[in-house]
Structures are given as C-alpha cells and as structure tokens.
Amino acid sequence: MATSSNSNGIDPRGPRFGAGITAVLLLVVIGLALANPQPSGMLSARVAEPAFLLLLVLTALFGWGAFAGIRRHPYGKLFAALVRPRLSPPSFTEAPEPPTFAQLVGFLVSATGVILQLVGVPYGLVAAAAAAFIAAFLNSVFGLCLGCELYALLVRAKVIRATT
C-alpha cells in the first residue's frame, strides 16, 4: 500500500497524528465513564453523560473521515496546516483508501458504544471506547493501523476491491 512515487498518496504521519488525538480523547471518554456511576434507567440521564457526548462527537469525526474521505478530515487539515510544514517530506506516501476504511471501522466501533449507552447496557460504552482506544493507540505509537490491516485482508480475500 505504501509507495514512494504515488502522487495521489497521503503523508502517513497525518493519520498517526489524528490517531494520537483520538487516543487521548478516547482515554478521556473511558475515564469519564468509569468515574461516574452508571446512570439510572432514564434515557435522558444516559444521553446527558459527558462520556456519551464526547463519544458521540468522536463518532461524528470517524464518520467524517469514513464518508468524506481521509483527506477532508479535520485532523488531517490540522496536521497539514500546523505540523507538516515543520517536518521533512515523507519518505513514502500511502494510499488514502486503507486509512479511510480504518475510519469506517472506528465509526462502527464508536457507534456501537453510542447505541449500547442509549439502550442502557452497563459498560457497553466503556468496552467500545476501550476497543477504539487500543486501535488508535497502536496506530499513533507504533504505526500499526488495525483498520488498514483489515482492509488489506479484505482486498486479498477479494471481499472488497482496491481502487488503486
């Protein structure tokens, strides 16, 4: 997926930068959810939880990256404006499809946490946020994008078609 001459590629440090921000915010979600006891059976109490609201924002950001594309994601714009000008050019570029697919996986995982909170499943939000945190942490710290790896597996299995 990574090439040095791909003019349509993206700087792989951009998604890692975004994953770092996401990992920190997901850790805040987990901390807020564990610090507050599970809300009562009332839907209004579950929706008003700060952890729920922050996970809802993160779900929207994942959706933005998944459906508008990784190039249009706010973290990518932030990286391009503030961080990339201070770095040397990347040694290789990456196809945008795997990180965009990874955003879709993040969207599905975080949306699951939102839905579990809405229906009142104890610690469902925490479990979904923890799964998303692990993936974001691995990407930001080690450059291991689980969603990108899943994309590659699905392409090799011919479940989905690579566009490049």
Ranges of each domain in the chain:
11-87+95-156
State residue 2's pLDDT score: 46
Give the pLDDT score at 42. Answer: 85
Q: Residue 82: its pLDDT value, please?
A: 92
Phi and psi, residue 157, nearest 5°: -80, 0
Bridge partners (DSSP) listed for residue 3: 93
**pLDDT value at 6 more than 60:** no
Q: Residue 25, Cα to own-chain centre: how many angstroms?
A: 11
* pLDDT tens digits, one per residue of 30-70: 999 999 876 667 888 888 899 999 999 999 999 999 999 89
For residue 1, pLDDT beyond 50: no
Residues 79-125: tens digit of each pLDDT: 989 999 999 999 999 999 999 999 999 999 999 999 999 998 889 99
Integer Cα distance of 17 and 78 in angstroms: 9
Residue 21 corresponds to which tokens in the numbers above? 């921000």
| Angle CA 65–141–74, to nearest 5 | 25
Cα–Cα distances (Å) from 139 to 7, 17, 144, in that order, read 23, 9, 5
